[in-house]
Amino acid sequence: MFRSWKPLFALMLVLGLATPAVLAQDGVTVGIITSQTGRFATFGRMQLAGYQVALDEINAAGGVHGQPLKLIIEDDASNQNAALSAAERLINDDVPLIIGTYASGISKPLSAYTARQRIPLIVAGSAADEITRPGSPWVFRAKTNATSYAVSLLNLADSLGGMKTIAILHGSGAFETSVADAADRVARQNGYQVLAREVYDRGLTDFRPILNKFRGLRPDVVFMVSYEEDSVAIMRQAKEVNLNPKMFAGGAAGFALDSFIQGAGDAAEFVFSATSWTPSVSYPGAGQLHEKLVEALKGEEPSYHAAEAYMALIVAADALNRTSSLEPDAIRAALKATHLETAAGPVTFEDYDGFINQNPISMVVEQVQDGAFVTVYPTEIAAGEARFPTPQWSSR
């Protein structure tokens, strides 16, 4: 049976100073690494909102063993060297565990480093399969893995029917490649013909040659995995070259941000995106979590990255409350025994299909409809019906 974390309201963010993490009257301090500056700062800002909301709830409910939970928050500046330096500082500050970060290309070396140091790491925002497959006994991922992004979108495609061909476009980073690998593999398993797979390097701004190639191939599904600025450019240029698949499928990341809708405008309409959380999911407290995240973001619509960060810190506090020792082995054992229900979804850390300490949480699919995201799959939790097939640009 899952224990339920019951949210309580509080409005004070407690940021800890660099003090040893011991069970003492001044509380327990844990480390957070996220992208406050650089390329991934938008996602880092979402994560910080999630951590704030979780911290408020944790401390309002009694903290850790009756003492306040505190955070040391480090900026990885959207690059792995800064993340590794941050982790070293946190370990020198005697934090009992670390939570981080957003980008898979940063979390992969970070997870390897913390495993060597025998410090528990909760992965809050990175999805690349290889972080937990094969993984490490010291690395725990509460959020979904890359394979689940592809599975959710292609399961939706199967349910909609009438599609047998697919073309894949993705960036060359760790996350984009991992999701694209999964899409390629799952599509073939499901009987799709993969007509093309195109990869691009960071900095590309003209996607029209690739999109024109796709137009000539006439795929039923165009599957895209891109970050914030690229997702906008791809859809604007897809409209420009008159690429007309039955389904545009975005592998989350940039396609799941409200800024994608704002930046792409009417070109964002009908695009599907995988996501791990929406306010309409059936998890207890999801609606209240959404309200708190909006408040933390000063009215901005939160992405699923905020909910995933929230979940990671709730999981950390739960594990710390179930052990009387802050020794790494004790915390690792407590994390492994996690069986928790949160407003962002259920959490257990399981070993399956080659994954180690992976939460087997499912993803959902949302679609841009009339300038807003609408949850459309699975149907039992959908807030609306999928609009399909995607109309041709000339008839919109």
| Residue spans per domain, the chain | 29-144+281-358, 147-275+364-377
* Residue 20: pLDDT over 90: no
| Burial of residue 201 (number of CB atoms within 10 Å: 0-12, 13-18, 19+) | exposed
Q: Are strands 98-100 and 28-34 parallel, antiparallel or unpaired?
A: parallel
pLDDT at 13 over 70: no
Which tokens is 66 given?
A: 């009756």
Task: Indicate the Cα dihedral angle 186, 191, 192, 194, nearest 10°.
Answer: 70
pLDDT more than 70, % of the chain: 94
- Res. 5: pLDDT tops 90: no
CA-CA distance, 311 to 305, in Å (whole number)?
10
Whole-number average pLDDT of the chain: 91
29-144+281-358 shares its CATH topology with 147-275+364-377: yes
pLDDT digits (tens, 9 = 90+) for 276-304: 898 888 788 999 999 999 999 999 999 99
Query: Which of the four pLDDT bands, split at 50, 70 and 90, describes residue 381?
Result: confident
pLDDT at 263 over 70: yes
Least confident window among 9-13, 142-146, 324-328, 387-391: 9-13
Per-residue confidence (pLDDT) for residue 17, from 0 to 100: 33
Helix (H, G, I), strand (E, B) or coil at 100: strand
Binned at pLDDT 50, 70 and 90, residue 252 comes out as: confident
52: nearest Cα among 248, 313, 392: 313
User: What token pair was written down for 26?
Assistant: 């001044």
- The whole-number pLDDT of residue 382 equals 84
CA–CA distances in Å: residue 355 to residues 97, 114, 131, 134, 145: 21, 18, 9, 6, 9
Q: Which fold has domain 29-144+281-358?
A: Rossmann fold (3.40.50)
Q: 119 phi and psi, to 5 degrees?
A: -115, 125
What tens digit of pLDDT does each residue of 155-198 get? 999 999 999 999 999 999 988 999 999 999 999 999 999 999 99
Measured distance CA(278)–CA(308) in Å, rounded = 11
The pLDDT assigned to 48 comes to: 98
Confidence band (pLDDT; 50, 70, 90) for 25? low
Q: How far apart are CA 118 and CA 228, in angstroms?
A: 34
- 3 state SS of 154: helix
Backbone angle region of 135, left / alpha / beta, with phi > 0 → left and psi within -120 to 50 → alpha: left
pLDDT tens figures, 197-214? 999 998 999 999 999 999
Q: Per residue in 88-112, pLDDT tens?
A: 999 999 999 999 999 999 999 999 9
Predicted confidence at residue 40, as pLDDT, reads: 92
Instruction: List Cβ neighbours of 76 (8 Å cut-off, separation of 6 or more).
Output: 33, 34, 35, 36, 38, 82, 83, 86, 100, 101, 106
Can you give the pLDDT at residue 79? 95
Tokens of 270: 């009908």
pTM of the full structure: 0.85
Going by pLDDT thresholds of 50, 70 and 90, the confidence category of residue 121 is: very high
pLDDT for position 105: 92
Q: Which CATH superfamily is domain 147-275+364-377 in?
A: Response regulator (3.40.50.2300)
Identify which of 256, 284, 263 has the alpha carbon closest to the alpha carbon of residue 364.
256
Per the CB < 8 A criterion, the answer to whether 123 and 142 are in contact is yes
Query: What distance in Å separates the CA atoms of residue 380 and residue 291, rounded to the nearest whole number?
Result: 23
- What is the Cα–Cα distance from 360 to 352, expressed in whole angstroms? 9
